[in-house]
Structure 1
Amino acid sequence: MRHLTPTEAWAWLQAETESRTALGQEPPLFVDVRMEIESLYVGRPPGVENIPWYEYPDLTPDATRFAAAVEREAGGRDRPILLICRSGKRTLDAGTALEKAGFTAVNHVVHGFEGDLNESFKRSTLNGWRFEGLPWEQM
Structure 2
Amino acid sequence: MRHDAHAVNSLQVQPAPGYAGDISGTLAWRWVQSGEAVLVDVRSDAERAWVGFVPDAPAVAWKQWPGMVNNPNFDAELLAAVAAGKKVALLCRSGVRSIAAAKRATELGLEAYNILEGFEGDPDSHAQRGHLGGWRLRGLPWRQS
Same fold (TM over 0.5): yes
Alignment TM-score, normalising by the size of structure 1: 0.81
Tell me which protein shows more helix as a share of its residues.
1
Give the paired residue count. Answer: 126
State the Cα deviation string for residues 28-73 of structure 1 (Å, max 9, x = none). Answer: 32211011111122101121111100112342225x7312211122
C-alpha separation between the residues in 2 aligned to 1:9 and 1:29?
Answer: 9
2:45 equivalent among 36, 49, 54 = 36
Q: Does 1:87 align with 2:94?
A: yes
1:134 to 116, 128, 140: 140
Residue type at the aligned position of 2:114: H
Higher relative contact order (CA 8 A, sep 6+): 1
Residue 125 in 1 paired to residue 134 in 2? no
> Are residues 114 and 74 of structure 1, via their aligned partners in 2, closer, same or farther at CA, if it must alter by over 3 Å?
same
**How big is each residue's C-alpha offset from its partner over 1:44-103, in whole Å with a ceiling of 9 and x where there is no partner?**
1121111100112342225x7312211122244x43211101000000001101111222
Structure 1 vs Structure 2 CA RMSD: 1.7
TM-score by length of 2: 0.78
**Which deviations, in whole Å up to 9, do the C-alpha atoms of 1:95-138 show, x marking residues without a partner?**
101111222x1122100000011111111111110111111101
Answer yes or no: is the 8 Å Cα contact 2:28–2:37 preserved in 1. Answer: no
Aligned to 1:20: none
Aligned identity (percent) is: 32
Tell whether 2:47 aligns with 1:56. Answer: no
Q: Is the 2:45–2:65 Cα contact (8 Å) retained in structure 1?
A: no
Query: Aligned partners of 1:111, 1:136: CA distance in 2, in Å?
Result: 15
Task: List gaps (5 residues or longer) in structure 1.
Answer: 18-26
